[in-house]
Amino acid sequence: DTGVSQNPRHKITKRGQNVTFRCDPISEHNRLYWYRQTLGQGPEFLTYFQNEAQLEKSRLLSDRFSAERPKGSFSTLEIQRTEQGDSAMYLCASSAHRTGGQETQYFGPGTRLLVL
Amino acid sequence: AQSVTQLDSHVSVSEGTPVLLRCNYSSSYSPSLFWYVQHPNKGLQLLLKYTSAATLVKGINGFEAEFKKSETSFHLTKPSAHMSDAAEYFCVVSDPPGGSYIPTFGRGTSLIVHP
């Protein structure tokens, strides 16, 4: 399978704990995106990388959230001191960006987080 | 600023009848538009995309969508629904090249298909 993969698929944690999610994009894709999706809503943009550079962050991404893509390949999203409001599906997507060209994002299956 | 409105939160059809999922967008540019489908416990899958070529776009599984600039619409249609089409559908707008590429998703339309 050469699609976008995410691990773990499910995570249950207690309020106040830290969690980390991993995303492995399609290998030749230079852009990687993180989204959050809550029940009954469409995905909301959190942040994205071009190669290893984090180019934009949403106001939704509080100080407790941090994302990295150290070698321009896989990415991690860490949530510190989790709160019940962080419970959601966290989606990763990747794309092949070319200057002046159109791009299409391909999504992973998501990591479902439940904070008790 | 860009935005997208999916006019129906739920659409219910009988198997074999036509499907219409409505989407209106707002963009300061000539945007790229997408439809994605999300089956339960599955990732978002691209159905089709409009990128300023033909206004009638054909996608996978018999779906198609027509870009109407005058109506700022990008409705998704299928002539005959199948039980396997039951899923959540998202309309997405994104700025064209030179924009931020940050897509904006609609809230989704749940398609229910009755036998």
A4-28 per-position pLDDT tens digit: 999 999 999 999 999 999 999 999 8
Look at residue A100 in the predicted model and tell me its pLDDT: 64
Look at residue A1 in the predicted model and tell me its pLDDT: 53
Report whether pLDDT(A104) > 80: yes
Look at residue A101 in the predicted model and tell me its pLDDT: 65
For residue B26, the enclosing domain spans 3-114
Instruction: Chain A: give the shortest CA distance to residue B44, in Å.
Output: 6
Query: Three-state DSSP class for B2?
Result: coil
What domain count does chain B have? 1
CATH number, domain of B15, equals 2.60.40.10
- In whole angstroms, what is the distance from residue B104 CA to residue A44 CA? 7
- The DSSP annotation for A25-49 comes to --TT--EEEEEEE-TTS--EEEEEE
**Residue of chain A whose Cα is closest to the Cα of B44:** A107
Look at residue B27 in the predicted model and tell me its pLDDT: 80
Mean pLDDT of all residues in A79-108: 89
- Each residue's pLDDT tens digit, B1-58: 788 999 999 999 999 999 999 999 988 777 889 999 999 878 899 999 987 778 899 9
Look at residue A6 in the predicted model and tell me its pLDDT: 96
- Residue A16: Cβ-neighbour burial (10 angstroms; 0-12, 13-18, 19+): exposed
Q: Which two tokens stand for residue B29?
A: 């540019």
* pLDDT band for position B101 (cuts 50, 70, 90): low
- With an 8 Å Cβ cutoff, is A25 touching chain B? no
**Residue of chain B whose Cα is closest to the Cα of A96:** B101
